């Protein structure tokens, strides 16, 4: 693994959120421009298995790449798909079911999975279904989803994940460490970069980009 690097990116949210959601789940558009500029070229197929509010997909189209995305929540899916030129390549489903859709091999995968604190029960990967409550089930399903992601990657395809550890009062969740561990079966970590936000929110001075290749 190469040495850890620090990069600086402006904290600026350019696109207004939909009426049903705040911008607190978004990352700045400039972060995705940085990733796409340095790890893809025009015409490349870019995949986001946790599309959310679609920031990675909008920037993919802006930069002349081809977006593919999955979003579990129908309301978010409809909002994002309604603004994409390539809207038919947006899927509303559980990311774990991506193999149902005959997706092509991707040139780059970008992901910011939903976060979970280890002392809580509400599992965002299952929409809070109590049958799947708990951090261990969250991590297990995360590993399963990224196992499916690996089948859509070429040998040369980078996987770049934005992730943060979570400090909530005295409770700490080592999410970065735990996700790296569950990805070891299918991936080799190749790099880690700390993004230092310029003019950040007071409680969010930086984030982490984790880089992987498939085994």
Question: Domain holding 11: CATH number?
Answer: 3.40.50.150
Of residues 207, 200, 195, 197, the one with CA closest to residue 7: 195
How high is the pLDDT of residue 119?
96
> What is the rounded CA–CA span in Å between residue 37 and residue 131?
41
Contact present, 135 and 182 (Cβ < 8 Å):
no
How high is the pLDDT of residue 3?
52
Provide the residue-wise pLDDT of the chain in tens; the chain has 215 residues: 445 589 999 999 998 888 888 767 678 999 999 999 999 999 999 999 999 999 999 999 999 999 999 999 999 999 999 999 999 999 999 999 999 999 999 999 999 999 999 999 999 999 999 999 999 999 999 999 999 999 999 999 999 999 999 999 999 999 999 999 999 999 999 999 999 999 888 889 999 999 999 99
Predicted TM-score of the model (pTM): 0.95
Q: Is 67 exposed, middle or buried (0-12, 13-18, 19+ CB in 10 A)?
A: buried
What value, to the nearest 5°, has the Cα angle with vertex 143 and ends 137 and 144? 90
Instruction: Determine the structural domain holding residue 125 and report its residue range.
Output: 5-214
Number of separate domains in the chain: 1
How high is the pLDDT of residue 2?
47
Please state, as a whole number, how many other Cβ atoms lie within 10 Å of the Cβ of residue 77.
21
């Amino acid at each position: 693994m190469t040495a850890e690097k620090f990069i600086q990116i402006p904290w600026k949210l350019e696109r207004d959120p939909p009426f049903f959601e705040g911008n607190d789940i978004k990352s700045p558009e400039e972060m995705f421009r940085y990733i796409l500029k340095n790890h893809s070229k025009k015409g490349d197929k870019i995949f986001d298995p946790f599309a959310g509010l679609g920031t990675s997909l909008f920037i993919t189209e802006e930069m002349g790449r081809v977006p593919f995305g999955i979003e579990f929540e129908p309301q978010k899916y409809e909002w994002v798909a309604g603004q994409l030129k390539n809207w038919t390549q947006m899927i509303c489903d559980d990311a774990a079911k991506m193999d149902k859709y005959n997706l092509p091999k991707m040139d780059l995968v970008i992901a910011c999975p939903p976060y979970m604190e280890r002392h809580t029960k509400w599992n965002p990967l299952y929409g809070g279904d109590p049958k799947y409550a708990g951090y261990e089930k969250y991590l297990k399903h995360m590993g399963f989803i990224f196992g499916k992601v690996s089948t859509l990657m070429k040998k040369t395809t980078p996987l770049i994940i934005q992730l943060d550890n979570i400090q909530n009062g005295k409770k700490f969740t080592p999410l970065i460490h735990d996700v790296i561990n569950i990805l070891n079966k299918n991936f080799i970590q190749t790099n880690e970069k700390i993004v230092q936000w310029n003019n950040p929110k007071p409680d969010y001075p930086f984030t982490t980009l984790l880089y992987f290749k498939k085994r």
